[in-house]
């Protein structure tokens, strides 16, 4: 085992845009969400799409979307603000329940990838601004929940990114030094959380953010998580 590998004891992954391709997983779900909310609240779906910076015609998030890296609660509040009289609590509940069944497109085949990391003696965590229920449902449907030593959503009691709370909870639970852990994510929220926790940070390009946005906060920016073993071995 070389020096670089020995110095990393734990890796925390973001979920959407990191383990799973962001657009493939969430674009169709978001379009359906907007149409559902528009029908149930007598609202204009185009106006709702504008509020969250989503291109309905192309079924794609714009890089400026406030939903990127946001919690379900923040997304619900943004949408409720665009519909007078709407209840953010109800929207959040609908988002959390419906998102658990969103289609998943892994960035790489996850089982062999995660097994390879575990074989190096690396503890594996997931920290997402999705709900805890949604996170576990997605990992379970992908057949990889048991590969994670730690899972935290925004409502797990540790706070949300870009705060360091859930990352430090991973370090406490696994007994690891944060300085020997990596936070891997596709957004500045992920990387800011990693820096705040005193961890290494890796950006990946399977979300919406591009290299110029991620690079100032990352030790390296990789095309996708499949490049991590090579980065560890350098």
For the segment 8-25, what is each residue's pLDDT rounded down to a tens digit?
999 999 999 999 998 888
Residues 138 and 161 placed together within one structural domain of the fold: yes
How many percent of the chain have pLDDT more than 70? 97
Mean pLDDT of 97-107: 87
Only one residue has tokens 């590998």, namely 5
Of 66, 99, 132, the one marking the end of a domain is 99
Residue 145 has pLDDT above 70, yes or no: yes
Residues 130 and 229 placed together within one structural domain of the fold: yes
The closest alpha carbon to 196, from 231, 228, 171, 225, belongs to: 171
Of 99, 115, 150, the one marking the end of a domain is 99
pTM: 0.83
> What 8-state DSSP symbol labels residue 221?
E
Mean pLDDT of 161-178: 98
Q: How confident is the model at residue 3 (pLDDT cuts 50, 70, 90)?
A: very low
* Residue 4 or residue 50, greater confidence: 50
| Cβ(229)–Cβ(116) below 8 Å | yes
Residues 27 and 16 placed together within one structural domain of the fold: no
- Distance (Å, whole) CA 129 – CA 42: 29
Residue 40 has pLDDT above 60, yes or no: yes
Of 70, 99, 128, the one marking the end of a domain is 99
pLDDT confidence of residue 100: 80
Residues 146 and 161 placed together within one structural domain of the fold: yes
How many percent of the chain have pLDDT more than 90? 83
- The count of structural domains within the chain is 2
Residues 204 and 138 placed together within one structural domain of the fold: yes
Structural domain containing residue 192: 3-21+105-233
Q: 106-128 pLDDT, tens per residue?
A: 999 999 999 999 999 999 999 99
Residues 141 and 63 placed together within one structural domain of the fold: no
The DSSP secondary structure of 140-203, one letter per residue, reads: HHTT-GGG-SEEE-TTSSS--TTSSHHHHHHHHHHT--GGGEEEEESSHHHHHHHHHTT-EEEE
Residues 110 and 177 placed together within one structural domain of the fold: yes
Q: What is the overall mean pLDDT for the chain?
A: 93
pLDDT confidence of residue 1: 33
CATH number at residue 135: 3.40.50.1000
Q: How many CB atoms lie within 10 A of CB 85?
A: 7
Residues 7 and 114 placed together within one structural domain of the fold: yes
For 57, counting Cβ atoms within 10 Å of its Cβ (0-12 exposed, 13-18 middle, 19+ buried), the class is exposed
């Amino acid at each position: 085992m070389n020096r670089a590998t020995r110095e990393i004891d734990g890796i925390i992954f973001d979920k959407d845009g990191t383990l799973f391709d962001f657009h493939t997983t969430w674009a169709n779900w978001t379009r359906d969400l907007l149409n559902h909310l528009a029908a149930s609240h007598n609202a204009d779906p185009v106006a709702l799409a504008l509020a969250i910076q989503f291109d309905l015609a192309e079924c794609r998030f714009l890089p400026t979307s406030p939903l990127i890296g946001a919690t379900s609660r923040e997304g619900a509040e943004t949408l409720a603000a665009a519909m007078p009289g709407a209840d953010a609590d109800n929207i959040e509940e609908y988002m959390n329940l419906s998102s658990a069944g969103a289609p998943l497109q892994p960035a790489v085949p996850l089982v062999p990838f995660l097994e390879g990391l575990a074989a190096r003696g690396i503890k594996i965590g997931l920290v997402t601004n999705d709900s805890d229920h949604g996170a576990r449902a997605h990992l379970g449907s992908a057949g990889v929940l048991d590969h994670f030593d730690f899972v935290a959503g925004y409502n797990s009691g540790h706070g949300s990114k870009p705060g360091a709370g859930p990352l430090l909870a991973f370090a406490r639970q696994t007994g690891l030094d944060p300085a020997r852990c990596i936070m891997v994510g596709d957004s500045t929220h992920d990387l800011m959380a990693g820096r705040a926790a005193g961890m290494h940070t890796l950006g990946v390009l399977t979300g919406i953010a591009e290299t110029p946005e991620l690079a100032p906060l990352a030790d390296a920016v990789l095309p996708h998580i499949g490049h991590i073993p090579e980065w560890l071995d350098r």
